[in-house]
Amino acid sequence: MTEHTRKVGDRGQVTIPKELRDRRGIEGGDEIRFIEVNDEIIIKAPTDEERLAEGYKKRADRSRQLVEEMEGTSAEATERLEDAPEWGE
């Protein structure tokens, strides 16, 4: 857990520490949510459709890459195993 302390300005403004903004991808103009739970205030970073889509695209690309690698490995294994004796022999 990381903890940062900031002062609240006269107009209720607080600056989110740069380290947290960078880690969470919060940029100027983003909307953030404030959620009150019991005696705590939770600040939620934005989750926009573009960021989600980019993450899913990266994951799909990596999955396709792994499938291609496995197909090559599987073909190579099959090729080498053709000369192997049967299990019962």
User: Would you place residue 84 in the very low, low, confident or very high pLDDT band (cuts 50, 70, 90)?
Assistant: low
Q: Is residue 89 part of a domain?
A: no
CA-closest candidate to residue 44, choices 59, 25, 62: 25
- Comparing CA positions, the residue from 31, 51, 32, 30 lying closest to residue 42 is 32
Residues 71 and 60 in one domain: yes
Structural domains in the chain (count): 2
Do residues 39 and 54 both lie within one domain?
A: no
For the segment 62-88, the average pLDDT, to the nearest whole number, is 79
Q: Which domain holds residue 3?
A: 1-46
Distance, CA of 70 to CA of 53 (rounded, Å): 26
Same domain for 40 and 2, yes or no, is yes
Q: Do 39 and 53 have their domain in common?
A: no
Which CATH number characterizes residue 39's domain? 2.10.260.10
Predicted TM-score (pTM) of the model is 0.49
In this structure, the answer to whether residues 56 and 40 fall within a common structural domain is: no
Question: Are 12 and 39 in the same domain?
Answer: yes
- pLDDT band for position 51 (cuts 50, 70, 90): confident
Residue 75 burial (10 A CB sphere; 0-12, 13-18, 19+): exposed
pLDDT of residue 15: 94
**How far apart (Å, rounded) are the C-alpha atoms in residues 4 and 20?**
9
What's the CA angle centered on 51, arms 45 and 57, to 5 degrees?
Answer: 150
Q: Which of 26, 24, 44 is nearest to 34 (CA)?
A: 44
